[in-house]
């Protein structure tokens, strides 16, 4: 029972936890920071269509509901992509530094922020993992540090680096379970002979360590869904990627098996994919942590 309250044990457990999204992507030969390169354009379109805008608004409204105001605040948006949150932050009056490593997403980000003044949004085109926070002058430099579904978080040490940049608040969102993808659920039994099972993710480590280390925070777990339409060719490539991420290492036999299934099941050539999952949101209050540290 004492181990349940042992910070060092939980930090080690997270660091040693091999079945993480980042680890699985790397084992599949996918560099997490460049994972969206091939679908940067479609990701950008989905981010700024009506559904994407509503999703961003819901998240920012939730943050505002916790007492955070965006007018005249400084925001560090880590993993900004094409500006899905950078743009609404700026629209609500914040000054934003947007960190993004993908060249394709950076080009789209430049287009999306073109209407703002140069001092309103600045882009840092490099991986956050490579940035020396102290040398850059980012230690406690931002009113809000924002990290949404970005693979820069993989252990407690990476969380501490992110928290060190925040002066008042830090928002982190992560999957609270493995993503449920309708097409993968269809294909999985053909490849493995077993039904696809949803797994828990590192969200549990994050919340428990924040609790043990005395942070004040609000958290929320929601179920999000989206639907996309792919060509059979695009669907085949997506399935191959998903299988690699889930450690299946598909060979030519499996590729043909999946291709034949898609041909037979989707004769129109259009594959509708439903994607859903539980996602966790955490807003950490750094000022409360500073008071707790002084009291200890």
**Quick one: pLDDT band at residue 227, thresholds 50, 70, 90?**
confident
122: pLDDT strictly greater than 80: yes
Query: Measured between alpha carbons, how far is 105 from 135 in angstroms, rounded to an integer?
Result: 26
Q: 109: burial class by Cβ within 10 Å (0-12, 13-18, 19+)?
A: buried
Query: Measured between alpha carbons, how far is 286 from 162 in angstroms, rounded to an integer?
Result: 12
- The reported pLDDT for the residue numbered 292 is 47
Whole-structure pTM value = 0.86
- For 191-220, give the secondary structure using H, E and C: HHCCCCCCCCCCHHHHHHHHHHCCCEEEEE
| % of the chain with per-residue pLDDT over 70 | 90
101: pLDDT strictly greater than 70: yes
The answer to whether residues 165 and 76 touch, using CB atoms and an 8 Å cutoff, is yes
Q: What mean pLDDT is reported for the chain?
A: 90
- The model's pLDDT over 241-295, given as tens digits with 9 standing for 90+, comes to 889 888 888 899 999 999 999 999 999 999 999 999 899 999 999 976 555 444 5
296: pLDDT strictly greater than 60: no
Query: Measured between alpha carbons, how far is 88 from 85 in angstroms, rounded to an integer?
Result: 5
Strand partners, 272: 229
- The model's pLDDT over 191-217, given as tens digits with 9 standing for 90+, comes to 999 998 877 778 999 999 999 999 999
Nearest to 36 by CA among 124, 112, 150: 150
Across 81-89, average pLDDT? 97
The answer to whether residues 126 and 103 touch, using CB atoms and an 8 Å cutoff, is no
Query: Measured between alpha carbons, how far is 14 from 204 in angstroms, rounded to an integer?
Result: 9
- The model's pLDDT over 142-193, given as tens digits with 9 standing for 90+, comes to 999 999 999 899 899 999 999 999 999 999 999 888 888 999 999 999 999 9
Query: If you classify domain 2-177+200-224+279-295 with CATH, what class do you get?
Result: alpha beta
Query: Measured between alpha carbons, how far is 11 from 115 in angstroms, rounded to an integer?
Result: 43
| % of the chain with per-residue pLDDT over 90 | 72
Domain extents in the chain: 2-177+200-224+279-295
């Amino acid at each position: 029972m004492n181990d349940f309250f042992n910070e060092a044990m939980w930090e080690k457990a997270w660091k040693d936890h091999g079945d993480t999204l980042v680890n699985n992507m790397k084992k599949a030969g996918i560099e997490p920071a460049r994972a969206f390169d091939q679908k940067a354009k479609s990701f950008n379109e989905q981010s700024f269509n009506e559904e994407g805008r509503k999703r961003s608004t819901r998240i920012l409204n939730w943050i505002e509901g916790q007492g955070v105001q965006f007018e005249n605040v400084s925001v560090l948006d880590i993993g900004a992509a094409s500006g899905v949150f950078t743009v609404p932050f700026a629209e609500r009056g914040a000054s934003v530094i947007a960190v993004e490593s993908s060249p394709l997403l950076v080009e789209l980000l430049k287009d999306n922020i073109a209407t703002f003044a140069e001092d309103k949004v600045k882009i840092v085109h490099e991986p956050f993992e490579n940035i020396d926070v102290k040398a850059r002058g980012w230690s406690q430099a931002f009113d809000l540090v924002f990290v949404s579904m970005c693979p820069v978080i993989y252990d407690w040490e990476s969380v501490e680096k992110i928290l060190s940049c925040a002066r008042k608040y830090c928002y982190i969102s992560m999957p609270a379970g493995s993503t449920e993808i309708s097409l993968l659920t269809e294909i999985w039994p053909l490849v493995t002979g077993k039904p696809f099972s949803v797994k828990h993710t590192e969200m549990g480590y994050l919340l428990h360590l924040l609790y043990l280390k005395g942070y004040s925070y609000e958290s929320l777990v929601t179920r999000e869904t989206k639907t996309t339409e792919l060509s059979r060719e695009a669907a085949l490539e997506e399935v191959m990627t998903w299988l690699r991420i889930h450690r299946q290492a598909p060979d030519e036999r499996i590729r043909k098996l999946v291709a034949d299934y898609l041909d037979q099941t989707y004769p129109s050539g259009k594959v509708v994919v439903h994607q859903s999952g539980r996602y966790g949101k955490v807003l950490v209050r750094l000022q409360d942590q500073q008071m707790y540290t002084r009291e200890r």
